[in-house]
Amino acid sequence: MTIAAGIDVGSSAVKVAMIIGDEVLALHSERIRRRELRKVINDAYSIALGMANVKESDLAYVATTGEGELVEFRRGHFYGMTTHARGAIHLLPETRAVLDIGALHARAIQMDDRSRVLNYRMTSQCASGSGQFLENVARYLGIALEEVGPLSLQGDAPETVSSICAVLAETDVINMVSRGIKPADILKGIHISMAGRYVKLLRASGNATDVAITGGLASDVGLVEALRENCADLRFHTHPDSTYAGAIGAAFWGAYRHRVLESRKAS
Amino acid sequence: MACTESECVADCVRRAETLAFADPPPHSIGYMPIYVPRELIHAAGLLPAGLYGGGDRLEIIRGDAYFQSYICRIPRSTIELALSGHLDRLDGMLFPSICDVIRNLSGMWQMLFPDRYVRYIDVPQNFDPAVGGRFWRHELETLRRDMERIAGRPIDDEALRNSIAVYNENRAAIRELYAQRSRAPWRFPLSEAYLVLRAGNSVPPEEHTALIRDYIRGAENDLSRREMDQSRVVLAGMFCEQPPHGLLVTLERAGCAVVDDDLFLGMRWIQGDIPLDGDPLQNLVDAYLTASATTASRYSPEGHRAKWLLESYRRNEAEGVIFCAPSFCDPALLEQPMLVAALDRAGIPHTEFKYSEDTGQFAVIREQAGTFSDSIRLWSAS
Amino acid sequence: MKENSMLLQKQLLADHFDALARARDEGKKVVYTFVPGNLNELVRSFDLLPVLPEINALQSGMRKLSGGYITEAEKSGHSEDVCTYVKCDIGMLRKGNIGPTGKPLPKPDLLLLSYTGCFTFMKWFELLREEYDCPVAMLHVPYQSEGRIEPHQREYIVQQLRSEIIPKLEQVSGREFDIEKLRSMLRLSSKAEDDLVWVLESAKNTPSPIDAFFAGVYYLGPIFSAFRGTEDAVQYYRTLRGEIEERIANKEGPITPDGPMKGERYRLVVEGPPNWTSFRDFWKMFYEEDAVVVASTYTKVGGLYDQGFRHDPDHPLETLADYALGCYTNLSLPARVDLLARYIRDYRADGFLVNSVKSCNSFSVGQLLMLRQLEERTGVPGAFIESDLVDPRYFSAANIKNRIESYLQMLDQKRGAA
Amino acid sequence: MKVFVGIDLGSTTTKAVILDEEERVIGRGITNSRSNYDVACAVVREEAFVRARFTMIERGLRTPRPHVIQDLERNFRLHQHLEQLDRLREAMLMLAARRGTPASIINGICDEMAIRARKHFAPGATRKSDFFRDLAAADYMSLAEAIREVSFESLCAIYDAAILAVENLTLDRAFERHIGSALQETEDGESLKEAVGAACNAELVESGSVGTGYGRQRLPFPKEQIRSEILCHGLGAHAMFPGTRTVLDIGGQDTKAIQLDPNGIVTSFQMNDRCAAGCGRYLGYIADEMNLGLHELGPLANESRHRVKINSTCTVFAGAELRDRLALGQKREDILAGLHRAIILRAMSLLARSGGISDEFTFTGGVARNSAAVGALRDLIAENYGARTINISHESIYTGALGAALFATRSAVRGNA
Ligand SMILES: Nc1ncnc2c1ncn2[C@@H]1O[C@H](COP(=O)(O)OP(=O)(O)O)[C@@H](O)[C@H]1O
Ligand SMILES: Nc1ncnc2c1ncn2[C@@H]1O[C@H](COP(=O)(O)OP(=O)(O)O)[C@@H](O)[C@H]1O
Ligand code: SF4
Ligand code: SF4
Ligand code: SF4
For chain A, give every domain's residue range.
3-83+245-266, 95-238
| Residues C351 and C266 sit within 8 Å (Cβ to Cβ) | yes
Q: Give the three-class secondary structure for A233.
A: coil
Average pLDDT in the C213-227 region?
90
Mean of all residue pLDDT scores within chain C? 93
Average pLDDT in the B136-150 region?
96
B220 lines ligand 3 (CB under 6 A): no
CATH no., domain A3-83+245-266 = 3.30.420.40
pLDDT of residue B22: 44
> How far apart (Å, rounded) are the C-alpha atoms in residues A111 and A91?
14
Q: Is the pLDDT of residue A161 over 80?
A: no
Mention every residue, 6+ apart, whose C-beta is less than 8 A from residue B87: B24, B30, B51, B81, B93
CATH superfamily of this structure's domain D1-62+188-241+398-417 = ATPase, nucleotide binding domain (3.30.420.40)
Report the neighbours of C using a cutoff of 3 or more CB pairs below 8 angstroms: A, B, D
CATH architecture of C4-178: 3-Layer(aba) Sandwich (3.40)
Of the listed ranges A151-165, B185-199, D178-192, the one predicted with least confidence: A151-165
Average pLDDT in the C334-362 region?
96
What are the residue ranges spanned by the domains of chain D? 1-62+188-241+398-417, 66-185, 242-392
Report the neighbours of D using a cutoff of 3 or more CB pairs below 8 angstroms: A, B, C
C407 — pLDDT class (breaks 50, 70, 90):
very high
B378 — pLDDT class (breaks 50, 70, 90):
low
B21 — pLDDT class (breaks 50, 70, 90):
very low
Q: Is B75 within 8 Å of chain C by CB?
A: yes
Tell me if C4-178 shares its fold with C182-417: yes
Of the listed ranges A226-230, D191-195, D350-354, the one predicted with least confidence: D191-195
- Whether the bond between C50 and the residue before it is cis, its omega within 30 degrees of 0, is no
| Residues C406 and D230 sit within 8 Å (Cβ to Cβ) | yes
A153 vs D145 pLDDT, higher one: A153
- Residue of C100, C125, C129 lying closest to C115 (CA atoms): C125
B2 — pLDDT class (breaks 50, 70, 90):
very low
A126 — pLDDT class (breaks 50, 70, 90):
low
pLDDT of residue D341: 92
C95 vs A37 pLDDT, higher one: C95
pLDDT of residue A166: 65
**Protein residue whose Cα sits closest to atom 15 of ligand 2:** D366
- Residue of C329, C373, C330 lying closest to C352 (CA atoms): C373
pLDDT of residue A102: 84
pLDDT tens string A45-80: 999 999 999 998 899 999 999 887 668 788 878 888
> How far apart (Å, rounded) are the C-alpha atoms in residues A185 and A176?
10
> How far apart (Å, rounded) are the C-alpha atoms in residues C305 and C323?
9
pLDDT tens string B301-332: 777 889 999 999 999 999 999 999 999 999 99
> How far apart (Å, rounded) are the C-alpha atoms in residues A56 and A42?
12
pLDDT tens string D270-290: 887 666 677 888 888 788 777
Residue A104: phi and psi, rounded to 5, are -115, -25
Mean of all residue pLDDT scores within chain B? 89
CATH 2.30.31.10 applies to domain B27-159? no
- Is the CB of C409 less than 8 angstroms away from the CB of D228? yes
> How far apart (Å, rounded) are the C-alpha atoms in residues B49 and A22?
61
Topology classification of domain A95-238: Nucleotidyltransferase; domain 5 (3.30.420)
Closest atom of ligand 3 relative to the B328 alpha carbon: 3
Q: How many Cα neighbours within 13 Å face the side chain of B202?
A: 26
Q: What DSSP designation does C299 have?
A: G
Question: D222 CA to middle of ligand 1, Å?
Answer: 43
pLDDT of residue C245: 95
Mean of all residue pLDDT scores within chain A? 85
pTM of the model: 0.87
pLDDT of residue B61: 86
**Protein residue whose Cα sits closest to atom 2 of ligand 3:** B329
Q: Is the pLDDT of residue A92 over 90?
A: yes
C216 — pLDDT class (breaks 50, 70, 90):
very high
pLDDT of residue D290: 78
Mention every residue, 6+ apart, whose C-beta is less than 8 A from residue D337: D301, D302, D304, D307, D308, D372, D376
pLDDT tens string D122-169: 888 887 777 888 889 889 988 988 888 887 778 888 888 888 788 877
C297 vs C397 pLDDT, higher one: C297
What are the residue ranges spanned by the domains of chain C? 4-178, 182-417
B239 vs A164 pLDDT, higher one: B239
D142 vs B135 pLDDT, higher one: B135
Chains A, C: CB contacts within 8 A come to 21
pLDDT tens string C258-290: 989 988 999 999 999 999 999 999 999 999 999
Other beta carbons within 10 angstroms of residue C104's beta carbon come to 13
pLDDT of residue C77: 85
pLDDT of residue D388: 92
> How far apart (Å, rounded) are the C-alpha atoms in residues A44 and D361?
52
Mention every residue, 6+ apart, whose C-beta is less than 8 A from residue D315: A165, A166, A167, D276, D277, D278, D279, D281, D282, D285
Average pLDDT in the B192-197 region?
91
Average pLDDT in the D83-102 region?
92
**Cα torsion through B141, B146, B151, B152, rounded to 10:** 90
Quick one: what percent of chain C has pLDDT higher than 90? 81
Task: Give the C-alpha distances (Å, rounded to integers) separating A200 from A204, C89, C128, D152, D401.
Answer: 6, 17, 21, 36, 44
pLDDT of residue A162: 64
pLDDT of residue A241: 93
D315 lines ligand 5 (CB under 6 A): yes
Average pLDDT in the C180-187 region?
96
Q: Is the pLDDT of residue B20 over 70?
A: no
Measured between beta carbons, the chain A residues lying within 8 angstroms of C398 are: 175
Mention every residue, 6+ apart, whose C-beta is less than 8 A from residue D353: B64, B65, B66, C368, D257, D270
pLDDT of residue B1: 43
Residue C233 host element (H or E) = helix C231-249
CA C338 to chain centre: 20
Mention every residue, 6+ apart, whose C-beta is less than 8 A from residue C208: C202, C253, C254, C264, C267, C292, C294
Average pLDDT in the A219-237 region?
91
From the CA of C273, which ligand is nearest? Answer: 4
Measured between beta carbons, the chain A residues lying within 8 angstroms of C71 are: 196, 200
CATH class label, D242-392: alpha beta
> How far apart (Å, rounded) are the C-alpha atoms in residues A168 and A176?
13
Other beta carbons within 10 angstroms of residue D149's beta carbon come to 9
Q: Is the pLDDT of residue B135 over 60?
A: yes
CATH class label, C182-417: alpha beta
D417 — pLDDT class (breaks 50, 70, 90):
very low
Report the neighbours of B using a cutoff of 3 or more CB pairs below 8 angstroms: A, C, D
pLDDT of residue D416: 46
Quick one: what percent of chain D has pLDDT higher than 70? 94
B101 lines ligand 3 (CB under 6 A): yes
Measured between beta carbons, the chain D residues lying within 8 angstroms of A167 are: 253, 276, 281, 315-316
pLDDT of residue D293: 79
Average pLDDT in the D327-355 region?
88
Average pLDDT in the B221-246 region?
87
pLDDT of residue B381: 47
> How far apart (Å, rounded) are the C-alpha atoms in residues B260 and B236?
8
Mention every residue, 6+ apart, whose C-beta is less than 8 A from residue C15: none
Measured between beta carbons, the chain B residues lying within 8 angstroms of A122 are: 353, 364, 367-368
Average pLDDT in the B149-156 region?
93
> How far apart (Å, rounded) are the C-alpha atoms in residues B357 and B75?
11
Find which of D35, D142, D311, D323 to mutate to test the A interface (most A CBs within 10 Å of its CB).
Answer: D35
